[in-house]
Amino acid sequence: MTDHAFTFSDVSLVATARRALWLPDTQTLCVSDLHLGKSGRIARRTGTMLPPFETTDTLARLEDEINRFDPKSVICLGDSFDDLDASKELSPQAAATFAQLQAGRRWIWIEGNHDPGPIEIGGSHHDAFQIRGLAFRHIATKATGEVSGHYHPKHGLRGSGPARPCFLYDHDRLIMPAFGTYTGGLSSLAEPLTNLFPNGAIAVMTGKTAIPVPVTRTLRKPRSVGRSY
């Protein structure tokens, strides 16, 4: 598996092929938009039943990244749960997994629009958090040097199959892909992402390999893919 190492706002970063962000200088791992408990939230609100396995799968992939990097700190960049009730519906096994992953680490929850308040699963809760001059928040603003999520960006190359979840970054901001199993996506060429990157960006497509490709506004804007944010 090949990751993409780059520098953003004078900070060394690694965009992993599995949709996590690694800050080697501070040994910090960041993931965004886990949307745990989405199947339960949909069942509660609509009566539609989806296979209730997304929490197990998402946590297993998060555990793999934590085992790989052994971070001192973990940042969950908002919408970690699909709503606040979802955080209360964790199975005993999922709660035990969280306790294991948090042990001996600083765990930082950034509040999102789906989970806009504290949850009772350890860690500290913030609307934004600063590390090495980078501002970690859920929804992008016009500030420089910020890392955010929310939009679930995806990017595809003509003739290479479906669009993949991607990181998007330029000189001013970095937007994370959604990490959760049950998350849709928004095309990197659709608004509001083109408004946030008016001069283009680098999309780091994830999958087996992290592939950086340039994104420009001169390309045709496709429809969004399964927008969910």
What is the overall mean pLDDT for the chain? 87
Average pLDDT over residues 121-127: 93
- Judged against a pLDDT cut of 70, whether residue 38 lies above it is answered with no
Q: Half-sphere exposure of residue 8, counting CA atoms within 13 Å on the CB side?
A: 27
Coil, strand or helix at 26: coil
Domain positions in the chain are: 4-215
Domain 4-215 CATH (choose: 2.30.30, 3.30.1490, 3.60.21, 1.10.3470): 3.60.21
Given its phi and psi angles, is residue 148 left (phi above 0), alpha (psi -120 to 50 degrees) or beta? beta
Average pLDDT over residues 104-110: 97
The pLDDT value given to residue 219: 44
- In sequence order, which residues have a C-beta less than 8 Å from that of residue 96 and are 6 or more positions away? none
- Judged against a pLDDT cut of 90, whether residue 169 lies above it is answered with yes
Average pLDDT over residues 120-138: 94
**Of 82 and 14, more confident:** 14
